[in-house]
Chains A and B, each alone.
Chain A
């Protein structure tokens, strides 16, 4: 397998992957920090480098609606967005999922308003976590590129047929230049294969269908249950696609990415780019003889609770870092679900939560070191009186009502 090594920003890498995927329809509306992806893509369209129909719609609500329309008629359709754009798509996200349309969408994570903020956090995609979309989180430019290509196979798999969001951190990854290995166009095409609709589509004269009819208390629950099952079936498919991708590229993709977790006493669980920062601290601590580890979930939906329980159960104290808050809903979304997953662990380890990095607030090495220091204490006593904490907040700058 011939792979080229080049330097690209996260957005450029996503745009390149989209070009190599060469979808039939892309509908898009600009929003920082995602804009560049669809803008670059529009130049590929204008220069005849892809066969895509490109629709410059007047809002994200229309973008997702147009993509749903295209996918329902049996073609490969994509869009991309961030933050307010994702929030504005919200209604249609559910339509895409309930109609089981294999749409793939890069989401460049950005804080939600207000206050208005353009920088990276996960409140946008975490807000959409129960919309019925598969969610893959990417640590760096390479993963963003690789995840987007794999997402096509996952979404379109006959056992799955669900939309997929491929998330990467706004600015930190979307605008940072990194080296990555890219595949040749033909290899991407061969990997993703021809688009085969596995469900009835519009415009099939031999078998006309209605997409999106009314289903009240008579059928609604069965449809929702089928959707949940498709999501559960996605787990083995994600792993299988990861293995095939590894055979092609040598790069490993699974549901989770543990680092030095096998014998760890203390561990941090964190999504996306902060995982890299955390690994640096783990290496330092290991030098000092501290048995620290990291778990980076790559997949948040479907939530790999069994796998997470298995790798985390032996750890003595665990900190979950959430780049999104749920405002006194007992910790961030990642925390809640992981803590619930550990309820059935033989010896329930203490699990604490840190809300961090909101609105692009830096999470630096010192912040991560402080978390491991806290964990050290918690592991020693097996107890803490403060389960949910905030990292890097200037307490003195908070205006209390």
Chain B
């Protein structure tokens, strides 16, 4: 599908152009989500896209689906409500690194723990973009930010490990450089019956890039190319070779009971006296 077709089919064209800065990766991720929804043949009218607050959370505003733009950090809680009320809907959550791991971190681990069938795409630009580049829980240690003029001393989360440990059953990491793989990762997440989590490493040239000696968005994409290691390749590499790199691809996959299905079977059916 050409970009034009994609946009005409899946965007609210009257809301374009978007607000994102030149070089921002958010459009690449939004495009990948739309391509994945198309590829997975998802019914546009049975899909709800939920977001929190941040530059990334603006994406659903441009997308021609039923969308719910919520409050900072709470997208997953709202999405849980949508899914519980109507388990037949495909519920996709678009969220920022701050949105889902700082102010909304609690919802992330609990949604993963329940293994509720949501597809979460995190736009990880390593910074609070919308508020002007303060460091987030995903800003790599020693990186610079407006609140860390001498480098951040905080240790950053590995969100994929966190979600896996919390009970998420499909975990993948992609980048805005590896766009084809990214689309497939989102397709796999949409197809997975359980909590699917896709972390996307993306570039914020305006706030993260400028502070961290990336002259342009292209340099940030090159950095992704040079530092991302596919899971399979990593298996053959030593820890020295992997130092400073990050893994991309499917990091974890497990089939486990999905929350709304279990709820229907073990709570509602019992309450109705349909099963003992």
A binding-site residues for B, Cβ under 8 Å: 29-32, 35-36, 38-39, 42-43, 46-47, 56, 58-59, 84, 88, 113, 116
Number of contacting residues on B, CB 8 A? 21
B143 at the interface (CB under 8 A from A): no
A39 vs B132: C-alpha distance when bound (angstroms)? 9
Task: Collect the chain B residues with CB atoms within 8 Å of residue A88's CB.
Answer: 103
Closest Cβ–Cβ distance, residue B128 to chain A (whole Å): 6
B68 to chain A, nearest CB (A): 11
Q: Which residue of B lies closest to A61 (CB)?
A: B103
Minimum CB–CB distance from A253 to chain B (whole Å) comes to 32
Give bound CA distance, A43 to B148, whole Å: 8
Q: Is the CB of A84 within 8 A of B149?
A: no
Kindly specify which of B24-32, B69-77, B198-206, B237-245 makes contact with the partner chain.
B69-77
- Assess whether B147 is interfacial by the CB under 8 Å rule: yes
B residues neighboring A (CB under 8 Å): 53, 69, 71-73, 102-103, 105, 128, 130-132, 134-135, 137, 146-150, 154
Contact A58 B105 (CB under 8 A): yes
How many Å lie between the Cα of A88 and that of B103 in the bound state? Answer: 10
State A30–B103 Cα separation when bound (angstroms): 11
Minimum CB–CB distance for B146 against chain A, Å: 5
Q: Name the CB-closest residue of B to A57.
A: B102
User: Please, how many angstroms separate the alpha-carbon atoms of A113 and B70 in the complex?
Assistant: 9
What is the bound-complex CA distance between A59 and B146, given in angstroms?
17
List chain A residues, Cβ under 8 A from B148.
46
B69: chain A residues at CB < 8 Å are 116
When chains A and B are docked, how far (Å) is the Cα of A59 from the Cα of B73?
A: 9
Of A31, A32, A39, A59, which one neighbours B147 at CB under 8 angstroms?
A39
Nearest chain-A residue to B130 (Cβ)?
Answer: A32
Q: If A30-B131, A32-B131, A35-B131 touch, does A58 touch B102 (CB 8 Å cutoff)? A: yes
CB distance from B35 to the nearest CB of A (A): 27
When distances are taken between beta carbons in the complex, the residues of chain B under 8 Å from A30 are 128, 131-132, 134, 147
A59 close to B102 (CB less than 8 A): yes
B137 touches A58 (CB 8 A): yes
Q: Nearest chain A CB to B96's CB is how many angstroms away? A: 13
What residue in chain A is nearest B134 (Cβ atoms)? A30
Nearest CB of B to A66, in Å? 14
**Chain A residues in 8 Å Cβ range of B131:** 30-32, 35
Contacts of B73 in A (CB 8 A): 59
| Chain B nearest CB, measured from A271 CB (Å) | 26
Q: Name the residue of chain B whose CB is nearest to the CB of A115.
A: B69
CB proximity of B22 to chain A, nearest CB, Å: 21
A113 lies within 8 A of B71 (CB):
yes
Give the CA-CA distance A46 to B130 in the complex, in Å.
22
Contacts of B71 in A (CB 8 A): 84, 113
List residues of chain A with CB within 8 A of the CB of B105: 58
28 contacts between A and B (CB under 8 A): A29-B103, A30-B131, A30-B132, A30-B147, A31-B131, A32-B130, A35-B131, A35-B134, A36-B132, A38-B147, A39-B132, A39-B146, A39-B147, A42-B146, A42-B147, A43-B149, A46-B149, A46-B150, A47-B149, A56-B135, A58-B102, A58-B137, A59-B73, A84-B53, A84-B71, A84-B72, A88-B103, A116-B69
Would you give the shortest CB distance from B201 to chain A, in whole angstroms? Answer: 21
Instruction: Chain B residues near A42: list those with CB within 8 A.
Output: 146-147, 149
- On whether the beta carbons of A59 and B53 are closer than 8 Å, the reply is no
| Complex Cα–Cα for A58 and B147 (A) | 13
Instruction: Return B247 CB to nearest CB of chain A, in Å.
Output: 25
Chain B residues, Cβ within 8 Å of A31: 131
Q: Roughly how many angstroms separate A36 CA and B146 CA in the complex, as a whole number?
A: 10
Judging by beta carbons under 8 Å apart, are B134 and A56 in contact?
Answer: yes
Bound form: Cα–Cα A32–B73 in Å: 15
Most buried by B among A30, A31, A43: A30
CB neighbours of A56 from chain B (8 A)? 134-135, 147, 154
- Distance of B83 from chain A, by nearest CB (Å): 21
Contact at B103–A59, with CB atoms within 8 Å? yes
Residues of B within 8 A of A38 (CB): 147
CB distance from B129 to the nearest CB of A (A): 11
Give Cα distance in the complex from A35 to B130, angstroms.
11
User: How far is A59 from B147 in the complex, measured between Cα atoms in Å?
Assistant: 15
In the assembled complex, how far is the CB of residue B49 from the closest CB belonging to chain A, in whole angstroms?
16
Bound-state Cα–Cα, A33 to B183, Å: 36
